[in-house]
Amino acid sequence: MSSHRADDLPGSVLDGAELVDHLERWSIGESSVVFDSGRVISVRTDRVESADGSTFHRDVVVHPGAVGIVALDDDERMLLVSQYRHPVAHRLLEPPAGLLDVAREPPHVAAARELAEEGHVRADDWRILVDPFTSPGMTDEAIRIYLARGLQAIPVAERHVGTHEEADMPVCWARLTDVVSSILAGVLHNPILVMGALACHVAAAGEGWDRLRPVDAGWPVREDLAKR
């Protein structure tokens, strides 16, 4: 099979400075909430007016957002929790993570709380890895994934006791390189794990931790969603 350079293929070629997502808001003729769980999510239907003047309807799963944490020890082993996930009927290996459902709680504070509650550790060094939209074709869920290092165990007597799925959520550790290999083999599936571990692996092999954003850096895309 022959290959071709991008210059010979459809579309333009972007340089690094142009690789940016841009805010663009099409008009909404009408919007109505069609389902509200009263817990985490609701669903609304928007009548969207497109740039060419046509209209169409889209269902949007409204989500409060979440944080996830790639926590590494001094040997670059990653903290994982084993959690049952009812919608997919699987027990998944995942990083500590949680919803941004506490009013006015800064995301990095929520991340530190979730790491303590689920992983039973605290961290001295925090950086931002990636800020993905999990499924932008159907939900406004935005996630910030952090890197946490300089870990210390929380004393057993002070550890959080989980409920529901979190009541049976053991902690384990695995080398980051092994986690990446298992992701590429298709046997690990949690999206925060996939995105966080791969981003962490790339950062470690490239420009290093110090080039990552600081823990309190702004989160413009989520801040814009909160204004809608």
Say how far apart CA 160 and CA 157 lie, in whole Å: 9
Q: If we measure between CA atoms, which residue out of 224, 220, 227, 216 comes closest to residue 110? A: 216
- CA neighbor of 101 nearest in space, from 149, 148, 40: 40
Q: With both helix axes pointing from N to C terminus, report the angle between 176-184 and 191-205 in degrees, rounded to the nearest 10.
A: 120
For the question of residue 166 being annotated catalytic, the response is yes
- List 114, 166, 207, 223, catalytic entry: 166
Specify the pairing of strand 66-71 against strand 143-153: parallel
Strands of the chain, DSSP E: 27-36, 42-49, 55-62, 66-71, 77-85, 90-94, 97-99, 121-130, 143-153, 171-175, 213-214
Q: How is residue 18 annotated by DSSP?
A: G
C-alpha distances in Å from residue 146, one per residue of 70, 115, 129, 192:
6, 10, 5, 10
Exposure string over 10-32, b if 16+ CB within 10 A, otherwise e: eeeeeeeeeeeeeeeeeeeeeee
- Tokens at 213, concatenated: 């954003």
Looking at residue 75, its amino acid is D
Where in the sequence numbering do the catalytic residues fall?
A: 166
